[in-house]
Every structure is written in C-alpha cells, then in structure tokens.
Amino acid sequence: MPRKQYKYHYIYKTICLVNNKFYIGMHSTFNLDDGYLGSGKRLWYSIKKHGKENHKKEILEFCKNRIELKQREKQIVTESFIKNPLCLNIQEGGGGGFISKEHMKKCCAAGNKAFRKKLKEDKKFSEKFSKIVSERNKKLIKEGKLNNFIYSHNWLGKKHKPETIEKIKLYLKGKQSKEKNSQYGTQWIYNVKT
C-alpha cells in the first residue's frame, strides 16, 4: 500500500533543553503543528526522563517529497555525525526507523502486545476501536469490497455431518453438567401442567 501523499516533508532537530542533546529526523505530515518530536529510541528515553516540555523541535529544511526527504536525511545523519556525544541518533539517516528486520519484528510484537492489553483493560478505547472497525466494515460491505460474513456464511437450512456432531458431543461431555453449565442455578425448569 503506497504512503499517503502528505503536504509537508521536512528535516527537523529536536533538542533536549536540559542537556543540549539533539536528534535529527525526517517527518511527513498534513499539519505542521501535529506535536511530533521524533521517533528515535534515545529521544524517547530523553522525553520520558526530562519531560516533553523540556524538548524543543525546530524545522531545519523542507523537501519536495518523501524520496528527496530520505536522501537529505541520509546526507545529514552520517556515521561520523552519530559519533557526536550529544547526538541521540543511533543509526544513519534515510532508513526510516528500524535498525534491522529483527528490530522491526520485535517492535511490531511489542506494539501488538500493548495494543491487545489496552483493548482488554481500557473499556473506552475498546468501545471506540470496535465502533471504528464496525463503521469501516459497513462501508466496505456497502462498496462491495468486503463480503458480509453473516450473510455469506449463514447456516439456514444446513446441518452438521454426523461425525462432526459426535466430535462436538465428545468435546462437550461433562463440560455442561451441573456447576459447569453457565445456566446452572440461574433458571428453574418446571412443567406448567402439574
């Protein structure tokens, strides 16, 4: 999937006002005031330690597009540039964030874990996310880009095969009896005629 065609592409410098350490990066955006300070690992540690309010970002130069932006960052953030003791960059520019495929996989796994945890623990976030997914799926179904699972996979007029029924019976055997039944003790079953 191609990257969105952002309006602005620029090289920036984020400086820690506490110790004068800095980070040089590239950013593409529609909004110049989006609050973005950078994505470098050492920069994140610095922001966490000293606070966002103690970091200042300045735009150094604009580029025409993302390709030019990557080339420019590569020219600025070089191997010798990184050796500066005040530099928070950990790799040469132009690569776009990950050190290696292993690093990318590790970051993705950590991000997925944090996302699942937030979905589980934050009710507001979970509801908001569910609503977004639901609206997107409705739109895609309407446009014919997504099959509606409910309508394309319904069981009306269909039956399980005998061997499948036996497998289900074996699996459920003892799991739905007495206290193990989710309805146990919550309903009275009686004969109205007596």
Q: State residue 5's pLDDT score.
A: 80
pTM: 0.52
Give the Cα separation of 96 and 119 in Å (integer): 28
End position of a domain, from candidates 55, 75, 97: 97
Residues 13 and 45 reside in one and the same domain: yes
Q: State residue 182's pLDDT score.
A: 72
Q: State residue 179's pLDDT score.
A: 74
Residues 23 and 56 reside in one and the same domain: yes
Residues 19 and 76 reside in one and the same domain: yes
Residues 51 and 74 reside in one and the same domain: yes
Does residue 49 form part of some domain? yes
End position of a domain, from candidates 64, 97, 130: 97
End position of a domain, from candidates 75, 97, 119: 97
Spatial neighbors of 93 by CB under 8 A, at least 6 apart, are 24, 25, 26, 70, 73, 74, 75, 76, 77, 78
Q: What is the domain-level CATH number for residue 67?
A: 3.40.1440.10
Q: State residue 188's pLDDT score.
A: 64
Residues 72 and 14 reside in one and the same domain: yes
83: domain range?
Answer: 8-97
Residues 86 and 116 reside in one and the same domain: no
Give the Cα separation of 70 and 9 in Å (integer): 10
Residues 92 and 32 reside in one and the same domain: yes
Spatial neighbors of 72 by CB under 8 A, at least 6 apart, are 11, 26, 61, 63
Residues 74 and 148 reside in one and the same domain: no
Give the Cα separation of 139 and 144 in Å (integer): 9
Q: What is the pLDDT along the chain (194 residues), one digit of tens a residue?
A: 345 688 899 999 999 999 999 999 999 899 999 999 998 889 999 999 999 999 999 999 999 998 899 999 999 999 999 999 999 998 888 876 555 667 668 878 888 888 889 889 999 989 998 899 888 888 887 887 776 655 556 667 788 899 999 998 888 887 777 777 777 777 666 666 65
Residues 123 and 78 reside in one and the same domain: no
Number of domain units in the chain: 2
Does residue 36 form part of some domain? yes
Residues 13 and 54 reside in one and the same domain: yes
User: 56, 17 in Cβ contact below 8 A?
Assistant: yes
